[in-house]
Structure 1
Amino acid sequence: MALRLIEMVLQEKDGEEVRELLKEQSVLEHRQLRLSGGEVLVRILLDAEQNEAVLDLLGKRYTGEAGNRVVILPVEATLPRAEPESVAQPGQPTSEEKTPGRIGREELYEDIKDAAQLSRVYLAMAALSTVVAAIGLYYNSVAIIIGAMVIAPLLGPNMALALSTTLGDLTLLRHALLTALAGIATAIVLAVIIGMLLHVDPTSPQLASRGGVRLGNIVVALASGVAGALAFTTGVSATLIGVMVAVALLPPLVAFGLLLGSGHPALAMGALSLFLLNLVCVNLAGVTTFLVQGIRPATWWEADRAVKATRIAITLWVTLLALLIGLILLLRKG
């Protein structure tokens, strides 16, 4: 796990209290530098997976005061290599037992919030990936389709939806929904236009394979959602995981637009059902993974709201999944 440096400027009288708060935390190093005006600069070096517990302690006591702000900085390495400053007493839970092997909640929030921003770059990437995916489907080229997945920006909005549900954060939820819907609308409009301009062959293997739902599609979508959440919570690069999520979402969405634009509405509905099923599975898996990873709000009133939001979301996703599977099976029998 990577290192993090926490910095905060406090009144000198609060410095000793911080020392007491950190005694039970396995930080690598804790120093306080005296500043002018009766203030001290608190610097805490620790593993990234430990910073949530420390941030919760500092946040509850100090961030409510005007002018106080906690800053978290990534650290590549330190010399000499440091050992934890304090070790818990026998029988007392250690920080590793309290916190799973993941980055802190606030760092995770910022990463996902940034990845779910609705911007011109996001819309441009959505448009470019749609065009490339449409060409790949039209020419039945797996390589071109995979290339489109590399630039498709679909991971961020879906992980933001899952995280906002887990934390009960309505602001992030609104931003995530707006960003996701903008990307979906862009893909559909462009794919329909391309479908109207080209003579699309619905029997093409790459198009035909996305005209219906198979058990493997559900497994891939669930695995993509889990992988996407784990990529963010462990702080690793989400680029390759984004390809996996895009594979589950973008090709069936583009196939829907191509088939609809070329005059094959019945086949287009099959591709749309696959996209909707994958979308539900990705978000359901994301929410579940965040819960298993122990992502919780910092305060009790936020936690209560988050529990309600999570229950509603999981019930909604599971119900939609069951309805879609039931509808697909019914249509197959018909």
Structure 2
Amino acid sequence: MLRQAEEHEALSTTATADLHNTDHVCVHILATQDHRQALLDRLQSLMGTRDDWRITLLPVETTIPFPEKEKEEEEDDATKDARKNRGGQSREEIYNNVWKQAQTDRNYLVFVVLSTVVAAFGMIADNVAVVVGAMVIAPLLGPNLALAVGVALGDGKLMGRAITTNAAGIAVALGLSLLIGAVWPVDAASKELMSRTQVGFDGMAIALASGAAAALSLVTGLSSALVGVMVAVALLPPTAAIGLFLGAGHPEFALGAALLLCVNVACVNLAAQVVMLSRGITPRTWFEKKQARRSSLINGGIWLGLLIALAVLLWVRTPVTG
């Protein structure tokens, strides 16, 4: 194991034995960000035939003294290009993050309810600030990223979990907003509401950018708080608008909001999947990679086909002027 760490340019390695059980050895490896994933894959392959091992990943903010800068100067152009293309998070860290975020638990449902109530009444009151506030607490980023990661890794269990959580969130938001629209006066002239019935190619570009930014924030380990707001803006208000319009007896407006929701869902997921593919988020073994490629092709084809169909529909619905 120490030799493997040295081959992958670990900054330091330390091995300590358990005083109470000499058969147990704890190895601490300080690995660089660029070689972390390769080292993890090698260690898992090395220990795969045993059942008495565990790898624990701990984040390190910094280390002193700093790694020698001379190594960067000695790298050739190919190595530097490869370094630029690597993400900041390992496959295992990404999986752990999205698995926890794709839970249909009480907290998730409570936040969906709260954000839907705030968004619905914000659109009814035509208050932009309130609608934006609803996006801050909307928990819709996690399940969508989990679906993209599940597709990239060919993990059917994660994909099923993500789809279930997404469906539960949309169903709760739709049902609650439908109830609000039925019992509360809804002003169809509200700009915030009517803006959710208008679908254009500019909105499609925004949704694509939101999905790409969300996936990029995940694989690089950067903060996803603001990106979560972007994704929530693309998904929650159209869902709430559908329910409000249906509850108030305006099915024609609800149809426009439903089209906007479909466009945003397709764009966010397609863009996230493309980012996962471009950043090299794949399983470890050859067989798993083969399955993942198949699931990526099928899933990508579905989203792309849906997006093309929606784009044609948008083109047909767009009035010709001039």
Q: Under a length normalisation based on structure 2, what TM-score does the superposition of the two structures give? A: 0.92
Once the 2 structures are TM-superposed, how far is the Cα of residue 81 of structure 1 from its aligned partner? Answer: 3.5
When residues 93 and 122 of structure 1 are mapped into structure 2, their CA distance, relative to the original with a 3 A threshold, is same
1:32 aligns to what?
A: 15
Task: Give CA deviations for 1:212-269 in whole Å, capped at 9, x if unaligned.
Answer: 2112210110010011001111112211110010011111111111001100001101
More off after superposition, 115-124 vs 29-38: 29-38
2:293 aligns to what?
A: 307
2:247 aligns to what?
A: 261
Tell me, in whole angstroms, the C-alpha distance in 2 between the residues paired with 1:48 and 1:184: 37
Which of 152, 160, 169 is the equivalent residue of 1:166?
Answer: 152
Contact kept in structure 2, 1:28 and 1:84, CA below 8 Å: no
Query: Unaligned 5+ residue runs, structure 2?
Result: none
2:184 aligns to what?
A: 198
Q: Percent identity?
A: 41
Contact kept in structure 1, 2:200 and 2:314, CA below 8 Å: no
Aligned residue identity for 2:46: R
The answer to whether residue 269 in structure 2 is matched with residue 283 in structure 1 is yes
Task: Give CA deviations for 1:102-128 in whole Å, capped at 9, x if unaligned.
Answer: 211100110111111111000000010
Aligned residue identity for 2:121: I
2:56 aligns to what?
A: 71
Which of 309, 315, 318 is the equivalent residue of 1:323?
Answer: 309
Which of 159, 165, 184 is the equivalent residue of 1:179?
Answer: 165
Between the two proteins, the alignment pairs up a number of residues equal to 317
Tell me, in whole angstroms, the C-alpha distance in 1 between the residues paired with 2:292 and 2:273: 11
Q: Please, what is the CA RMSD of the aligned residues?
A: 2.4
Tell me, in whole angstroms, the C-alpha distance in 2 between the residues paired with 1:280 and 1:64: 41
More off after superposition, 222-231 vs 84-93: 84-93
1:55 aligns to what?
A: 40
3-state SS, counterpart of residue 71 of structure 1: coil
Once the 2 structures are TM-superposed, how far is the Cα of residue 189 of structure 1 from its aligned partner? Answer: 0.3
When residues 95 and 297 of structure 1 are mapped into structure 2, their CA distance, relative to the original with a 3 A threshold, is farther
Contact kept in structure 2, 1:50 and 1:95, CA below 8 Å: no
Once the 2 structures are TM-superposed, how far is the Cα of residue 41 of structure 1 from its aligned partner? Answer: 1.6
Tell me, in whole angstroms, the C-alpha distance in 2 between the residues paired with 1:85 and 1:58: 27
Aligned residue identity for 2:179: I
Contact kept in structure 1, 2:212 and 2:272, CA below 8 Å: yes
1:41 aligns to what?
A: 26
When residues 282 and 167 of structure 1 are mapped into structure 2, their CA distance, relative to the original with a 3 A threshold, is same
The answer to whether residue 213 in structure 2 is matched with residue 230 in structure 1 is no
Tell me, in whole angstroms, the C-alpha distance in 2 between the residues paired with 1:49 and 1:240: 26
Tell me, in whole angstroms, the C-alpha distance in 2 between the residues paired with 1:325 and 1:160: 26
| Structure holding more strand per residue | 1
Once the 2 structures are TM-superposed, how far is the Cα of residue 32 of structure 1 from its aligned partner? Answer: 1.5
Once the 2 structures are TM-superposed, how far is the Cα of residue 136 of structure 1 from its aligned partner? Answer: 0.7
Aligned residue identity for 1:215: F
Q: Under a length normalisation based on structure 1, what TM-score does the superposition of the two structures give? A: 0.89
More off after superposition, 302-311 vs 86-95: 86-95
More off after superposition, 123-132 vs 58-67: 58-67
Aligned residue identity for 1:21: Q
Once the 2 structures are TM-superposed, how far is the Cα of residue 37 of structure 1 from its aligned partner? Answer: 2.0
1:137 aligns to what?
A: 123
When residues 42 and 258 of structure 1 are mapped into structure 2, their CA distance, relative to the original with a 3 A threshold, is same
